[in-house]
Structure 1
Amino acid sequence: MNSTDIIKITFILALFITFSSCNGEPKQQCNIPENITYNEQVASLIEVHCFKCHAPDVYKEKASRNKIFDYQSLKKMGESGQLIGSITHAQGFIPMPYRKGVKIDSCAIEVIKKWVELGMQE
């Protein structure tokens, strides 16, 4: 084995190690409760992640009149599919938050998705 072969093998090993360790970001572990309600979990997530534009005192100016700061309005968005489509940035929906490439916390998304799946209890 000459020095060129050793360099080739070293390079191939380095590539293998690099690409085998680049399988994306580690998936965040979420502690999602079995029973999710608007009052116990969802309302606070909406307040933290959405009230910059969707709070009662600013939504008319910043959020195109999309009211999501109360249970009935958010439930209506959940029933239509718009809530999940927007927070997951699904094709055909306006991504929220409305900043290119920025999503809310993945665990918050999972809690909201489960809330919708469970029937959107208040």
Structure 2
Amino acid sequence: MKSFLLTAALITAIAAPALAQDTGPSAAVLDQIVISEKLIAAGTARNDAVLILAGIKLRSGLGDDMGTLPAETISKEAAFAAARTAATGDDAMLGMIDDVEAEGSRRMPICSTNTYGSNYCY
């Protein structure tokens, strides 16, 4: 009976973390989302495309770690529209905005093979 109870306790201790559901992004990721929101909002308020792009870049660097964002967050499309509005008349800045927007679709892994046959991609 003791071995059965000990086994049941061990199985419960091992299985409990595996059964716990993911509650969303970590605190560090949430902090970065908040900072990106503040950068985008400050850039929109100051009509500063650089601040808006900084917020967009910060958020895009998080990738899949963000999970599902709350409905109150600024969408990527709205942020790019605000950046374009702030950069009106500045062709160089508009070009940078286009580059940042196209960056996700253009990225491709760069891979190399060393003399030992290992592949490295970055």
Q: TM-score range by the shorter chain?
A: 0.3 to 0.5
Question: Normalising by structure 2, what TM-score?
Answer: 0.34
Q: Which has more strand, going by share of residues?
A: 2
- Comparing both chains, which one has the higher relative contact order based on Cα–Cα distances under 8 Å and sequence gaps of 6 or more? 1
Q: Which has more helix, going by share of residues?
A: 2
